[in-house]
Chains A and B, each alone.
Chain A
């Protein structure tokens, strides 16, 4: 008996003309860990909803074909009955916590199914221990951090020991450490409990090596179903936006087949004699990758090595942005009119009355045209720092000096939409500039994730005074690679005009693509501040896949940079062999 079986399933949501799933036929065996891949809006979430019975029982719409989960036909068994065999974790974990305390949350599913008090107490205790959240049992759910909420929601899905677990972008709100922990946990569940796992994820590099199989969706139809290796070959040929950075690195360096994970990639490089010396890690800033420019590759890669490196003062830079900075200081720029930096935080403290300090004496000077990636674990103080920068919160100690308007884009772009049509949200000029004119008549809530983010960014930047700094809080949450590349492109375009940006992000790949300077926050303190390459090369968690494959050598963060290094290394090898 298959764990999940789809038989020619076609589904259309109510009031939609296009089907969300098209003739999907799929069989997932018990104990398999399957990864669902695809761009946003291609049917991944709908497939998960169909597997747990929410489609069609909860969402309605037109449903054809059949879905059976652990032998139960979802047309005959509602989600409540399927819930005993299927655990579900959706992306926004806050909406999945319905009780006030963690213990009550974990007990709810079993109580709903009529389990006795002894069975409930044992199951709650066991699942809490298994997921390492036993210390949270007496806490209120509204006090939990994003990572803790995600773990509690997963525990609530697992408390009934389901045979199948469905997860829809479970790491989208998690920092790299919590994200890796969650994937490790899923792998353990799969290997030790023989749990079938169907996981939808945008950051494929995180979980591809853990998967037995990858199913790719496009336009609601399955376009690939096979091993991770075959998926990478498919992505290289048919859907480059689904390629992992490691696969892209190998493709650019002329190596084949694409590696499924860091371990496989390093093994291959070792065999080829291309594994670079670890002693290169983080040394000689500016000597390797930073000296090069990458033309024609998704708008180029920022010159990260030069950020803040020349005189040891964060924020001092050279190059094109420094020119625009000088221009602005002379008063010739289009942003701000002051002589000081666009934004300066000095000894900034943010303390909750009778609570902890969220920020502890943060110093930060932002120069015109500078793009800064703000990284750190959930609860490190990134969002609070941005709110202070934009004046949404007043510091309890220290000062915030702004050289003009600081536009802040909060985490949920939907919070900015007040109207039924895009064109009512902002001025026609701003709509044109944001490249959203063709969406003018659409409802903002019907836009894709990337379009919503662009619209929200245009809304906060629209108005009389052009912002000198744009602060973005987790802008890539739930975005596919294509939308991320567009956002990075937009930030680069703004930087070229002298507008600075601070981006709080958990996504090292995005940070590497758009920022030249990175700051690592921990417990409210800026514990590292320097060029992005110094921060993201050589780390375990706060590192791109390319940097992990190359061991941080040469400060290469992105596939293009890594490929250049590998090609140089290969040429050096060839020369040595020729001499020999």
Chain B
């Protein structure tokens, strides 16, 4: 179940998991907005520290570390492409001559740094979405959507569940092939056969799930009967994460409007550091990670 387990929500004893899905989703949206609003590598770095701290506080450090490895794989091409394709900037550190369709191969420090900033943003978004997929209960999230469109929300729930199920099926099939003498056949044809077996198994699985849904009355369409669910009171964690989301969003907006962390890549790198910059870089990660410190009432 390793693949499935890494991709799927699992209820852990953490403040983030104890928070209602709608508030946790709002907090994640605030983090994404802050990432998109920030340009300075210092602010982005501070935000990244906050996100990693929050991940550790939520018991998801291992999973985030795995995502960090993927981030590195994604970041390197981003930086390389930017430095090769974008020729703005005045500080040339390498001249590669005529690169044909890419023009003169003058590599600039500004393009390199700006590529790194883009990669940092992309990496940060990957970390935040990993955190969201592992810490926000999709069923609770989709339950709210079901009131609007029952079938669409149910299909989304099903898709979420099927990711793990199919990943587990694939692992099982691969393990079975490894137990064949000599570890099973190798080469492209063997891989194609294995892939077709996995697809076949997925289709079988889909048929089983479709039969189950049929028996549960999916075709009925879920027209909601009378009565209202009692309002669930806001917990201390709901409040803390709501406050954190508001603070992060406000800091990012204010920082942007007041140019607290200015950054320009072209034509020359400019990143003046003021007291406001330092304050922003200290407060931002604290606002992100502080709600994770309250460990009361986090048990599932």
Interface residues, chain A, with chain B CB atoms under 8 Å away = 52, 54, 57-58, 78-81, 83-84, 88, 92, 94-101, 103-104, 108-109, 111-119, 121, 138-143, 156, 353-354, 387, 390, 392, 405, 407-410, 412, 414-419, 459-465
Contact = CB atoms under 8 A, between A and B. Distances in A.
Closest 6 pairs (CB-CB, A-B)? A463-B181, A117-B229, A116-B227, A95-B208, A415-B176, A104-B139
B216 A416 contact: no
Interface residues of B, number: 63
A465 B220 CA distance: 57
A306 B157 CA distance: 55
Contacts of B296: none
Contacts of A88: 215
Given A79-B215, A410-B176, A416-B177, 9 more contacts: A83-B217, A100-B8, A100-B138, A101-B140, A111-B224, A112-B221, A140-B10, A142-B161, A460-B179
Interface in B178-236: 178-182, 193-194, 196-197, 201, 205, 208-230
A80 B219 contact: yes
B216 A114 contact: no
A58 B218 CA distance: 13
A102 to B, nearest CB: 10
A117 B228 contact: yes
A419 B217 contact: no
Contacts of B208: 92, 95-96
A143 B164 CA distance: 11
B247 interface: no
A114 B227 CA distance: 11
Contacts, number: 170
Nearest to B8: A142
A221 to B, nearest CB: 25
Contact of B143 (A104, A354, A407): A104
A94 B175 contact: no
Interface of B: 1, 4-5, 8-11, 62, 137-140, 143, 146, 150, 154, 157-158, 160-161, 164-165, 168, 172-173, 175-182, 193-194, 196-197, 201, 205, 208-230, 300
Given A140-B9, A140-B11, A95 B193 contact: no
Q: Is the interface of B mostly helix, strand, loop or mixed?
A: helix
Given A83-B215, A83-B216, A95-B209, A416 B222 contact: no
B7 to A, nearest CB: 10
A380 B227 CA distance: 44
Given A80-B217, A121-B229, A410-B172, A405 B10 contact: no
Contacts of A405: 181
Contacts of B209: 95, 98
Contact of A141 (B161, B201, B226, B227): B161
A94 B165 contact: yes
Given A113-B220, A405-B181, A353 B225 contact: no
B161 A99 contact: yes
B22 to A, nearest CB: 15
Contact of B137 (A57, A81, A101, A461): A101
